Structures are given as C-alpha cells and as structure tokens.
Amino acid sequence: MSNAKSIACYKVAASYKVSYRIAKGKKPHSMGETLVLPAAIDMIETMLGESYADQLKIIPLADNTVGRRISDISEDLCDQLIEKVKLSYLPALQVDKIVLLLLPMFLSMHT
C-alpha cells in the first residue's frame, strides 16, 4: 500500500474512533471539530512538535462528518445483530427485522 493510501486509511479510522467516542459519550457532534481535534493538536504540538501536530489537521471531524460516521457505526451494529439472530439456532430468537431495527433506539433510551 502506498504511503498516501495508508495515510488516507489512518485518517478515516481516526475519524471513526473519535466519532464512536463522541456517540458513546452522548456529546454534540460538533465536539470533534471544536474540542477534541484542537486539544489533540495542542498536546502533540507540545510533546512532539508542530510537524507531527500538522498531521492531525487532516482528520475529518466536522459535525456532519461525525454524524455520518455515527450513522455508519449504528447501521453496521444493527446489521451484525440481525446476522447473529438469523444464524441463531434458537427459534425464540428469530425476530422480525422491524424489532431489530428499533432495538438500538430502545437500548439507547434505557442505558
């Protein structure tokens, strides 16, 4: 894999990881762009230098990007859950897809 491709993969992976933490903490999507990224840049700049901190600036953390990442993660988790239920050997676990689609919303309200 070329260096440019690996950097692109790393920045997307970093964006997903931060988006996951924002969702898990139930924080506003804008937090990635307004708090997390500037704080990370400050820390890296202080500890390692400006050239390393500049590399963080390419991580996409705009609020709409974070929102899309959270939706992607949620959709993927639903798909994984549906597949596990479909593969289940227990007939009692065979549930309508609509129930599985509503399950994440139900769980988020009760956690």
Tens digit of pLDDT at every position of the chain (111 positions): 577 778 889 999 999 999 999 999 999 999 999 999 999 999 999 999 999 999 999 999 999 999 999 999 988 988 887 787 777 665 555 556 666 667 776 666 655
3-class state of residue 49 by DSSP? coil
**Phi-psi label, residue 77: left if phi above 0, alpha if psi -120 to 50, beta otherwise:** alpha
Position 48, amino acid? L
Q: What is the pTM of this model?
A: 0.75
φ and ψ at residue 94, rounded to 5 degrees: -75, 105
